[in-house]
Amino acid sequence: MKLLLGLLFLWLLSSEGNADDLEEQGKLKALRSFQLSCDQAILPETPSSSVHALRPANVKTVTAIGSLQRTPGSGVHHEDLLQSTRKSLLEVSVETLAALISSFNPSVLHQSPPPGTKGATSDSQAVDLLHQAEEIVKLMKENQMMDFQNDWKLITVFFSAENPWSSCASTTLKNCVLDNLEKLKAVLDFLYKNVPKAFVNLVDSTELTTSSLVCQDYNNASNPGRNQCNGVGECSTLDDNILRWFYQDVWEKLLESERYDQKDDFTVVLQPSLQERNLLLRLGRDGFVTTSKTQVETLEEDYTFMAVGLWNNMMEPVGRKQPYDFTKMLQVRCPSQENPYLFTYRNSNYSSSLETSDTKETSQERIYGTNIPCFDRAPSDTVPVSVHNLKPADIRVIAALGDSLTAGNGAASKPHDLLDVLTQYRGVSWSVGGNENISTVTTLANILREFNPSLIGYSTGTGKQNTVNAALNQAVAGDHAEDVPAQVRRLVDRMKNDTGINLQTDWKLITLLIGGNDLCKFCKNPVQYSPENYTYNLQTALDILHREVPRAFVNLVTVLSMPSLRELHASEDTCPRKVMSHLCPCVINPKDNSNEVKKLVYFNRRYQERTRQLVESGRYDTTDDFTVVMQPFLMNVNMPKTQEGLPDSSYFAPDCFHFSQKAHSQAARALWNNMLEPLGKKTDNQQIEDEIVLKCPSKAEPFLRTYKNSNYTYPNQTPNYGSQLLCEDRSPSSPPATSVHSLKPADVKIIAALGDSLTAGTGIASDNLLDLNTEYRGLSWSIGGDASLENVTTLPNIFRVFNVMIMGYSTGTGSENDSNAFLNQAVPGAQAKHLPAQARNLLRLMKTDPRIDFSADWKLITVHIGGNDLCNYCKDPNYYSAVNFVRRIQETLDILHKQVPKALVSLVEVMDLLPLRQLFVDTRVQCPTYMADYLCSCVLTGEENSPNLTMVREATRAYQLGIQRLVESGRYDTHENFTVIIQPFLQNIKIPLGQDGHPDVSYFSPDCFHPSQKGHSQLAKALWNALLQPAGQKAESFDFMDDIVLNCPTQNKTFLGTYKNSNYTYPPVEPTNEPIENWGSDLSCSEQTPSSPVPTSVHELQPADIKVIGALGDSLTTAVGAKATDLQTDWRGLSWSIGGDGTLETQTTLPNILKKFNPNLFGFSTGSSKETAGFNVAERGATARNMSAQARELVELMRSSSKINFKEDWKLITVLIGGNDLCKYCLDKETYSVQKYVKHLQDTLDIFYEELPRVFVNVVEILEISGLRQITASSSGCALTAKNVCPCFLNPEENSSELQEIKRVNRDFQAEALQLVNSGRYEEREDFAVVMQPFFRNTLLPPDSNGKPDLSFFAADCFHFSLRGYAEMAMALWNNMLEPVGEKQTYNNFTHDRSKLKCPNPEKPFLSTLRNSGFRNSDLNLEKTEPSVPYWAVIVAAVAGVLAGSLLIWLLSGRRARRHQHETDTERNTKTTPL
């Protein structure tokens, strides 16, 4: 039976502990947030005798104890926050758990917590937890309503770890934690000894009661005896997280020891800790200011969330419990039928992953020494005055800056001793440690001591940066780049105050490595931890050193490749993933191949690249006694592997994040070698597991290598993108030109441009992603006029060489509305549909500007558009079809042709965007791959040869061909003062490659999508040359890396090239193709035999196993119009899904395909009579409400047929319905509503599910009917006929609310049907499957040779399909059946190809279902299994293919919002196909 939440409410009102009605109403209000609906929640006949078989219904009493007082200084000065409401967390948890259990056992009692735990208590007055345990046992024994010896009890113990740094000042940290453990053991021992029949939850509530275990603010006057945190960095996130984990670890080990599992009626289970960061507490960390009614209600609601989360974890096996997520609505979990009990360690079959090593290894037993093979260790004869002549032995002072890697956290820790990672082993730190000597400890300092035994500054032993033995190791655990300037300040002050250091004359070596913590947190605040801020902070720190520290050589070590650390944390077996998921969430937590990982890789590489740019700027090479050298050995470091190919954790501390001494030794060797390698030849991919032999200074080059002594030239930081134009004839026409076909460059007086972000200049001069909002119009290839041709190559700057008075070009930055944009009316994000509006704006500007003689001045207008159309093409192929694209271009050119005199329009062909994928696929390229979906989802995302890319590839060519046909039609050559000429050089682009073979991103802005100034310069040159080239001889390709020389007009060709002055002959109209004799297909599959034996599972069904075929539907399935002129006959034998006339070679239908696999297929239709319809029960005019009747008819036909084995034969049924529902929707919105449509479809499928054995059901997604409007618009005859057939779609005016509504309903039909099919409703049977076939979702309207819809695919009514169209449907359906769910083609481009049919995959030759596509486990009982891919994943993925959905990333969220605000979202984002 179903249990309603009302039962909980009734229990609360009737049970013990009732307060006044207002309190209980508040509780009811909180509980209404949850849903509880459990089957078979009845009292067991006999109570359980074992705690490991304890069901919720067995529990008789619920109670709790806990230490929940806030520690001093945590921000609550007057009262305990957790006790400050009218009900405490203890009370709320007891009441909530009891209320939930009452659903299973209405007589359950809740024993209130003992007195003294409810009111506010200070630290000194806190009730002892053991005393609470004694009191609660006493209360239960005295309770007359319970049988203490025989009733099962649920006891929750909330335990808060004490603050070891304050309460255990005289003992070690580990001993302090163990002392706390002993206190807890005493409580649990007491319960174990004195309470029979008890299930005990142990819940860590530490995070709710203190803001930090390690370091708290003890400024409160009431606690004068407590020590404050001294020194920078003591209160680090590292300390806090590790200490929390250690508490959890020791508690878990205590319970895993089975100390409390010796009796069968008692157990203790550690539940996930309560975490304040996940709680919806409406207060700040500074404390609770007031206790208004609203805050009281809010806190009680939050406590209820906690208690429900605790209940849900009691339903989860140990090892699979989840942290409480209070950021989303919780649903109360039910016990499963298979495991109806509360989970314990024993019944969870749990084995700990936190195994300890049997190896008795100690830090003293590990030797990490090195031999120095260098014989010449002498210093310079005289102390050098130049850093470029600095020998190793000349260095007298060594220092280091950074984070915990340089502080040495955990470097000498024993394996598995996670708590010891808090120890900073500075004496073995790779860059500055000085423990022992080089024979036992390899560090950079110990290497240098072999050259200069008098070296000072190195650190020894352990301790923080403010200890004496830290010396000049001023690295601070947990620090970010923003903290380094403060470190530098302390380091400089220490050196100045050290009497042993002569700041002016001693040579100093300072090593800096920072950035790991920045990358660990970058996803939480991408602006604060941006590459720009990172390098700004580095620059600030280095500036101080440069300014205040003479005679210094600074090693700037590039941040290591952080993503490689993810390999170590793939499981919890060897590494404490939970710790690191808090400590370094942006590296550890993202899923593989997610956008978050791509973003991490991008930020990591940008950190490295910006570091290089900072050093190579020459900023620190202005004096001869100071330099900064980038040491890149960690740049491309990979995870060290064992011989078995697994991550080698021996190179890491117990937290699997910090370096062990083994790795510190290797890092020291690699850094030393880097210092001796010349710039340009430094190792940047040191593999840590390799043997690293120390290099020696050579006789020829005995110095530490700098840019100067390496003869290295830094790249030019301010490159010149100017050009030379060596044209002798720069004169205008004389007399002035009267024809556009005799127009010389100098004749052009006005220059203008229309387009999108490419012409607007988005990101041209940007050096970071944050600047991508800037439109550098003055640098735009076709219209920018900044500076002059000598340093900025643009088309206007080239024309200014011929005519200095030319005007119209844009300068500087800004939008199209700014005055300096002038005649650059391009708009970022613009599509072809926006071009007419741009043309009108341009027309207005030219007519009204007094500097322009509109009728007399010759104008050059460059038009380039189409990129954004292609980027969105896969979302709505109908809207972005070539027909629509060309129509919008035509509208624009018509405006210019009609209203602009004396103009040459240079129409730059649509760019082929597909090559840009190289920038987002190559993992070595520093491109923001995580932005691919935002920048251009249809091109930059998805796999090669995916349906989306195929669509875009075909669309690109269709756009180009459509434009060529339009322009070459002669439409714009009707008078002498106007023409349009196509510039085709962007038809085929070649991505630039660097010397390493990877794409050269210097040609692109930081988004790797828009060209940089370097790229715009090349585009400008190519455009200029194209203007001079004759039509028919123009370049049709563009290589960014070509050395493009600007051409000059010649004596023979002095004019800008047009079709007329090129003597170009327009190609003839393509002749009509010879009629195709039939619409058959060719299919030759290697495997066409049935399964042996016959499969019992639909998920192993091969085509040849199908014995029977049937179909439901309307006139599309009866094949009305198959013979185009006859609309009265149902040509069922030619039906795409059920017709069997002829053979596959002459007519493509689904049965004719299947007959290739099973010639004995039965059920298909033949001819046109009802008698030969077979199992085709479709009827013309049918709507969704007729489907259940058709389904019953089909079932009875099959059941009564003597030709089939009803129980044993496999059946294939195809359902397509909904067209008539949509066409009639506006006439009766209730009858034809989405809800009714889905209900009728569900009733139909339910009939099959309940009555038909062995069935595979195709549900074909209803087509996008709005595309038919284009068909009817192309023919007056079509319009008249079709409007009667489908009035609700074809009658509304364009852009009317009625049309928008019916389009929405169309999409809702698709989405809701998809959700029904993938809901799991039809998956309990092994021999039944329903699969959505989505080929109709984004149907591409077939154009003819003139770019108009090809009516040969349609019947005379322009609504039904012709024989040719039905054949295309059959091919698309068959291919869909073989394509895995999630990878199905969601469009049909109606291109005739006899070889389009696919063959079954030899490795997986089955018809695709959800399960065999990877969306289900083999176990049918969904409640008993964890799906390999959650069932909802396919729904979400596919519904996203139907509904609009575009989430702008943080960086550019405001960019398009301020553009085209008048646009409708339905136009821009109607569909997305699943990735």
Position 776 pLDDT exceeds 50: yes
Confidence of residue 1265 (pLDDT cuts 50, 70, 90): confident
* Contact partners, residue 409, CB within 8 Å, separation at least 6: 238, 421, 422, 423, 424, 425, 477, 653, 658
Buried-exposed string 1191-1200: b where 16+ CB fall within 10 A, e elsewhere: beebbebbee
Q: Which residue has the tokens 């295309």?
A: 1368
Q: Which two tokens stand for residue 1439?
A: 């519904």
Position 504 pLDDT exceeds 80: yes
Does 404 participate in catalysis according to the annotation? yes
Lowest mean pLDDT among 390-394, 679-683, 1122-1126, 1330-1334: 1122-1126
* Contact partners, residue 364, CB within 8 Å, separation at least 6: none
| Residue 269 phi, psi dihedral angles, 5° rounding | -125, 130
Q: Distance from CA of residue 550 to its chain's centroid?
A: 47
Q: Which two tokens stand for residue 1276?
A: 């007056």
Secondary structure (H, E, C), 448-513: HHHHCCCCECCECCCCCCCCHHHCCECCCCCCCHHHHHHHHHHHHHHHHHCCCCCCCCCEEEEEEE
Provide the 8-state DSSP code for 681.
S
Q: What is the mean pLDDT of the chain?
A: 83
Catalytic residue of the set 166, 404, 1081, 1137: 404
Closest by Cα among 607, 605, 621, 609 to 710:
621
Cβ atoms of residues 80 and 117 within 8 Å? no
The CA-based angle 514-519-524, given to 5 degrees, is: 135
Confidence of residue 291 (pLDDT cuts 50, 70, 90): very low
- Write the CA distances from 1266 to 476, 1289, 1305, 1359, integer angstroms: 64, 7, 11, 11
Neighbours of 1395 (CB within 10 A): 9
Lowest mean pLDDT among 33-42, 62-71, 213-222, 918-927: 213-222
Out of 54-58, 328-332, 1281-1285, give the one with best mean pLDDT: 54-58
What residues are paired with 424 via a beta bridge? 409
Confidence of residue 1283 (pLDDT cuts 50, 70, 90): low
Q: Which residue has the tokens 């440069």?
A: 546
Neighbours of 701 (CB within 10 A): 12
Out of 595-599, 646-650, 1012-1016, give the one with best mean pLDDT: 1012-1016
Lowest mean pLDDT among 1040-1054, 1308-1322, 1452-1466: 1452-1466
Neighbours of 508 (CB within 10 A): 23
Rounded to a whole number of angstroms, the CA Rg of the chain reads 38
Cβ atoms of residues 1408 and 1379 within 8 Å? yes
Q: Which residue has the tokens 């830094």?
A: 714
The CA-based angle 1269-1275-1278, given to 5 degrees, is: 70
Cβ atoms of residues 722 and 792 within 8 Å? yes
Secondary structure (H, E, C), 374-412: CCCCCCCCCCCCCHHHCCHHHEEEEEEEECHHHHCECCC
Lowest mean pLDDT among 240-254, 434-448, 794-808, 1124-1138: 240-254
Secondary structure (H, E, C), 647-676: ECHHHECCCCCCECHHHHHHHHHHHHHHHH
| Portion of the chain with pLDDT greater than 90, in percent | 55
Confidence of residue 1469 (pLDDT cuts 50, 70, 90): very low
What is the structure's pLDDT at 253? 77
Question: Computed from CA positions of residues 352, 354, 357, 358, in that sequence, does the dihedral angle turn out positive or negative?
Answer: negative
Q: Which two tokens stand for residue 634?
A: 């960690």
**Mean local confidence (pLDDT), 312-340:** 76
Q: Which residue has the tokens 């005995």?
A: 702
Position 753 pLDDT exceeds 90: yes
**Mean local confidence (pLDDT), 510-537:** 94
* Contact partners, residue 481, CB within 8 Å, separation at least 6: 514, 515, 518, 533, 534, 537, 538
| Portion of the chain with pLDDT greater than 70, in percent | 80
Catalytic residue of the set 658, 864, 897, 1460: 658
Q: How many residues does the chain have?
A: 1475
Instruction: List pLDDT tens digits, range 708-736.
Output: 999 988 876 678 899 999 898 899 999 99
Cβ atoms of residues 121 and 128 within 8 Å? no
Between helix 6-14 and helix 89-101 the angle, nearest 10°, is 120
Cβ atoms of residues 1138 and 1186 within 8 Å? no
Q: Which two tokens stand for residue 945?
A: 């040869």
What is the structure's pLDDT at 1308? 92
Secondary structure (H, E, C), 267-317: EEEEECCCCHHHCCCCCECCECCCCCHHHHHHHHHHHHHHHHHHHHHHCCC
Confidence of residue 1438 (pLDDT cuts 50, 70, 90): very low
What is the structure's pLDDT at 1471? 27
| Residue 954 phi, psi dihedral angles, 5° rounding | -65, -40
Cβ atoms of residues 717 and 726 within 8 Å? no
Name the residue type at position 1365.
G
| Residue 766 phi, psi dihedral angles, 5° rounding | -75, 145
Distance from C-alpha of 1029 to C-alpha of 1042, rounded to nearest angstrom: 17
Cβ atoms of residues 1164 and 1153 within 8 Å? no
Instruction: List pLDDT tens digits, range 1005-1040.
Output: 999 999 999 999 999 999 999 999 999 999 999 999
- Write the CA distances from 251 to 578, 1038, 1082, integer angstroms: 15, 66, 69
Distance from C-alpha of 124 to C-alpha of 119, rounded to nearest angstrom: 14
Does 14 participate in catalysis according to the annotation? no
| Residue 271 phi, psi dihedral angles, 5° rounding | -95, 160
Q: Which two tokens stand for residue 563?
A: 């993503």
Provide the 8-state DSSP code for 1042.
S
Position 907 pLDDT exceeds 70: yes
Neighbours of 1268 (CB within 10 A): 25
Q: Where are the alpha helices (DSSP H) in 866-1006?
A: 867-871, 882-899, 917-921, 932-940, 947-967
Catalytic residue of the set 261, 506, 518, 655: 518
pTM for this entry: 0.60
Cβ atoms of residues 833 and 866 within 8 Å? no
What is the structure's pLDDT at 178? 75
Does 658 participate in catalysis according to the annotation? yes
Position 122 pLDDT exceeds 80: no
| Residue 1238 phi, psi dihedral angles, 5° rounding | -70, -35
